Amino acid sequence: MNKRNLALLTDFYELTMAHGYFKHGLKDKIAYFDMFFRSIPDNGGFAIMAGLEQLIEYLKNLRFDDEDIEFLRSKKTFCEEFLEYLKNFKFSCDIWAIPEGTPIFPNEPIITVAGPVIQAQFIETMLLLTINHQSLIATKANRIVRAAQGRSVMEFGSRRAQGYDGAIYGARAAYIGGCVGTACTISDKEFGIPAIGTMAHSWVQMFPTELDAFRAYARTYPDNCVLLVDTYNTLKSGVPNAIKTFREEIVPRGFRPKGIRIDSGDIAYLSKEARKMLDEAGFHDCKIVASNALDENIIRDMLIQGAQVDIFGVGERYYRDY
């Protein structure tokens, strides 16, 4: 991501305490701070560590520019000697951290910071913000991935995330948690997380008929054709039109259909019926993708019901449940 000066993304009391330490001759006193958490959300067995790379980037670029100094001067709270100290600020603490992607547990240090107290305490806000957010998403993603029992899970959460950075770094954290890709294109550009996506219901509605929509998409992407089959009626029109499109547009061009997606209704039942129809048509290799407000509990229940789903797309549940 483009570097931003985030020095003032901190609780104001970190600055007032730092000023106090400076005034009382404590700026170089060595202090140790441990980051830990007290419980796992929803009594899960463990959490997943994530966000360390962004924390390191923040620390490597931590500085106060002229605008920051002028803003702090305008607060009429800090002495000039302290502002001069901040102007020449260079982070020099030692940090120990659990690697990203590692299971972590309550009441154990996951990051330890040691160094001059002003520096060690000043980074508290950004450390907690960065690690808490990404670890939360990575933990939820990992639960969903494990519930899928070896089936692929795609991250579709951008439009439900808490802000722009929440979407970008949420996709990163979900990938660390075990997702195979994301709908968030910029996360592919910045982090190399595979961007995945096909069509929305609006695509189908833009054409005179569902079959016309499917044919147009198949002609555009014959080597990677996944059709959304639930815009009107999944079993009466969606799957039959998909099969017709595969036979007439995909196979003659020397390709095989990649899949269909079901985004509404009783997905367990619909996927079982769709699987039968696809198999009878000779498309045993055509995957079934399921989406729509899924989480680990819904996925687990669907599989207990015998759902014939190969890939799950999960969106808002990475964020909404916590």
Grouping H, G, I as helix, E, B as strand and the rest as coil, residue 228 is: strand
Domains of the chain, earliest start first = 12-137 (3.20.140.10), 143-320 (3.20.20.70)
pLDDT in tens, 230-242: 999 999 999 999 9
- Kindly state the average pLDDT of the residues 24-36: 97
Sheet holding 94-97, edge to edge: 30-35, 111-116, 94-97
- Cα dihedral 273/276/281/283 (nearest 10): 100
Q: Is the pLDDT of residue 71 over 80?
A: yes
pLDDT in tens, 110-161: 999 999 999 999 999 999 999 999 999 999 999 999 999 999 999 998 988 8
Q: Which has more confidence, 2 or 103? A: 103
Cα angle for residues 158, 62, 50 (degrees, 5° grid) = 40
Buried b (16+ CB within 10 A) or exposed e, 91-104: bebebebbebeeeb
d(CA 307, CA 283): 18
pLDDT in tens, 253-306: 999 999 999 999 999 999 999 999 999 999 999 999 999 889 999 999 999 999
pLDDT confidence of residue 4: 81
pLDDT in tens, 93-104: 999 999 999 999
C-alpha radius of gyration, the chain, whole number = 25
- Kindly state the average pLDDT of the residues 34-42: 91
Q: Is the pLDDT of residue 322 over 70?
A: no
